[in-house]
Chain A
Amino acid sequence: MGNVNVNIDGRKIRVREGSTILEAATANGITIPTLCHIKGQVPSGVCRVCVVEVEGSRTMMGACHTPVAEGMVIHSKSPKVIAVRKVIVELLLTAHTGDCVNDSNAENCALHNLASDYEVGAPHFNVRNPRFYPAEESNPYVKRDMSKCILCRKCVKVCGEVVRKDVLSIGYRGFRSKVVSGFDEALTAEACRDCLKCIEHCPTGALSAPARV
């Protein structure tokens, strides 16, 4: 495949045809935030944080899953993009129950860092059904606090497609969606070993290493 010419934030960039906007930007030192994308894996485009403006397109495009095309003019930091991203972060925060702000793990929460970068505070709108799940600490390798989960599906993906253990899936639907293992039960030590890949990829504090006693 050949190369195509695109313009990102006013910079002329030549990239391999078939690259995504995110790849093109990253290769040229332009940062586009993402919470759900795993480099090298098929993009899922679920978190929407990577939206960019593409001239001539009616809607915003997810940078992680939109391939570049010849002559594309992309804005990754325009006022419109920033405004939309703020709302997306605000929406993600509504489903992110927990006390990350005071939590010792807060600096590891990519969502909180993003909220801070984009100056997003508590949601402006009412939250009807806060998601709350008791934290699961039965597994010796992974502590799961699903209240903090933003359903980015990275753990499902990495467990299935990278580690190929397929221990996690998305259960239920809509507001009730949740990452489940087995019959929606606590992770057993038999099912989940100590590869810790999901912890590595979790953008929030939903998956973490249990405190050593």
Chain B
Amino acid sequence: MVPSKKEALSENGRAGLLPALKDRAGREGCLNRESMSGLAGQYHLPLNEVYGVSTFYAFLPVLPTGKNIIRVCRCLPCHLKDAQAVIGSIKKELGIAPGETSGDGKFSFELVSCIGACDQAPAMMINDKLYGDLTPAGIAEILKSYA
């Protein structure tokens, strides 16, 4: 029988799941069925729960992604500072819409909830690096450094 959530918590530190998922995603690029099943076994959790956690967090990629992941904040402060223009600029530059990966596999483009950089709105992250105070005109240069 699958142990209840409570049992898993007391025995195996269910809290360890999130860092483990992040680590796995970092090493393998994305979380697939195999890696999720493995972690589910390791933490004595049902696969559906691991899947639920993985799909909740924008920073845990579940689908294969490009080499670099662009995450543009879509929350209110960035929106008010015209993140829409930045999003438009990225679309134009890469020819892909949010949720898509470029044909050459270099970039995935996503819109995410607040990334905690409201003071530098509009902001985005490329992989682990934060870019703030973005302007539509400055996008091309930033992307060029990843090409």
Asked whether, in the complex, the Cβ of B52 is within 8 Å of the Cβ of A180, the reply is: yes
> Which of B5, B51, B56 is within 8 Å of A184, CB to CB?
B51
B51 close to A166 (CB less than 8 A): no
CB of A168 closer than 8 Å to a CB of B: yes
Interface range, A side: 10 to 19
Contact of B5 among A160, A168, A181 (CB under 8 A): A160
Q: Given known contacts A182-B47, A183-B36, A183-B47, is B5 in contact with A166 (CB within 8 Å)?
A: yes
Chain A residues contacting B56 (CB-CB under 8 Å) are 171-173
Q: Is A58 an interface residue (CB 8 A)?
A: no
Chain B residues contacting A165 (CB-CB under 8 Å) are 1-2
Q: A181 touching B48 by the CB < 8 A rule?
A: yes
Whether A169 contacts B4 in the complex (CB less than 8 A), given A183-B33, A183-B36, comes out as: no
Nearest-Cβ distance from residue B12 to partner chain A, whole angstroms: 14
Collect the chain B residues with CB atoms within 8 Å of residue A27's CB: none
7 residue pairs from A and B, CB less than 8 Å apart: A166-B4, A166-B45, A166-B48, A169-B48, A171-B51, A182-B51, A184-B51
Contacts of A181 in B (CB 8 A): 48
Contact A167 B48 (CB under 8 A): yes
Question: What's the Cα separation between A84 and B16 when bound, in Å?
Answer: 40
5 tightest A-B contacts by CB? A169-B52, A169-B48, A166-B46, A171-B52, A169-B49
Q: A166-B46, A167-B46, A169-B46 are in contact. Are A180 and B51 (CB under 8 A)?
A: yes
Q: Which residues on A are within 8 Å of B, measured CB to CB?
A: 160-161, 164-173, 180-184
> Which among A160, A172, A173 is the interface contact of B4 at CB below 8 angstroms?
A160
Interface of B is mostly: helix
Q: How far is the CB of B62 from chain A (nearest CB, A)?
A: 9
Inter-chain pairs besides A171-B56, A180-B48, A183-B33, 15 sampled, C-beta below 8 Å: A161-B4, A164-B2, A166-B2, A166-B4, A166-B49, A168-B48, A169-B52, A171-B52, A172-B56, A173-B55, A180-B51, A182-B47, A182-B48, A183-B36, A184-B55
- Give complex CA distance A167, B5 in Å: 12
For chain B residues 41-61, which have a beta carbon within 8 Å of chain A?
45-49, 51-52, 55-56
A86 smallest CB distance to B (angstroms):
28
A169 and B2: CB pair below 8 A?
no
Contacts of B48 in A (CB 8 A): 166-169, 171, 180-183
Residues in A whose Cβ lies below 8 Å from that of B36: 183
Q: How far is the CB of A144 from chain B (nearest CB, A)?
A: 13
Q: Taking each of A181, A182, A184, which has the highest tally of chain B beta carbons within 10 Å of its own beta carbon?
A: A182
Alpha-carbon separation in the docked complex, A170 to B53 (Å): 8
The listed residue (A164, A168, A180, A183) touching B1 by CB distance below 8 A is A164
Residues of B within 8 A of A171 (CB): 48, 51-52, 55-56
Q: Which chain B residues border A161 with CB–CB below 8 Å?
A: 4-5
Whether the pair A169, B1 counts as a contact (CB closer than 8 A) is: no
B112 to chain A: closest CB distance in Å?
11
Minimum CB–CB distance from B34 to chain A (whole Å) comes to 10
Note all chain B residues with C-beta closer than 8 A to A172.
55-56
Which residues 24-48 in B have Cβ within 8 Å of A in the complex? Answer: 33, 36, 45-48
